[in-house]
Amino acid sequence: MTDSDGTPDQGSAAPEQKYADRVQRSVPGIIAGVMLLAIAGWLIIDAVINGTGRTPWIALAAAPVFAFPVIAYTLRPAVLSNDRRLLVRNPLRTIDVPWASVEGLKAGYSVELFAGGKKYQVWAVPVSLRQRKRANRTAARAAASGDTTSSRWSVPAGRTARPGQSDPTRAWSDQVVSELQELADTNAANPLAAGEARVTWCWWIIAPTLVGLVALVALIAAT
């Protein structure tokens, strides 16, 4: 097909991203969240079925107060990246940053994103000091033995680094930060990666939690 000026039609998807979003998130956090929700669900259902008086209503009011924060802090956090932007899903906020606006990333005691003159915590990539120390010991042993292959980045291009999968001499959080910084440096000049950072609040987490909290306080005060 051709456009009206006779040039080949590139299609509407031509300027879009080169690859789908890469996703980084904490697997232990997800597992912990699922377990907490399962235990809380069992306790709440038991209270609703077997409770007397206001107990079933208190249990129902407590459900969103517990469930939504657990979802926010364990299941929701994620980091998505492509050739256009970096999207950070924190418990209560979403930070959408085009690569041109990324000023830097740092993994200290936590992973931090610097954009638009502000600093944002990246909840989805927790820093494990124990893992970092173990990686440093592995790197020291590799250096002492003259083994250079064990410290080589081994994740193929386009794939997400996973703990223990790629470079045993670097902690997972440090690997993720390096990968994201490389994407920022590579795509900063991309015209589609221009723009300012946008921050939005996660109201589907905040609103039900507040409503449940008000109902819970009212029910407890009425007893």
Task: Return the structure tokens found at 64.
Answer: 């969103």
Asked if 193 and 152 touch (Cβ cutoff 8 Å), the reply is no
Q: What b/e sequence results for 169-194 when a residue is b if at least 16 CB atoms lie within 10 Å of its CB, and e otherwise?
A: bbbbbbbbbbbbeebbeebeebebbe
Distance, in Å, from the CA atom of 158 to the CA atom of 29, rounded to the nearest integer, reads 24
Tens-digit pLDDT profile for residues 111-133: 999 998 999 999 999 988 887 78
Confidence of residue 140 (pLDDT cuts 50, 70, 90): confident
Residue 93: φ, ψ to 5°: -140, 155
Please give the pLDDT value at position 155: 41
7 has a pLDDT exceeding 50 = no
| Residues 58-63: contacts with CB under 8 Å, at least 24 apart | 58/216, 58/219, 58/220, 61/212, 61/215, 61/216, 61/219, 62/212, 62/216, 63/212
Average the pLDDT over 27-52 and give the result.
95
| pLDDT of the residue at 20 | 56
Instruction: Look at 155 and 165; give whichever has higher pLDDT.
Output: 165
pLDDT tens-digit map of 172-223: 888 999 999 999 999 988 888 889 999 999 999 999 999 999 999 999 998 7
pLDDT band (50, 70, 90) for residue 138:
confident
Which pTM was predicted? Answer: 0.77
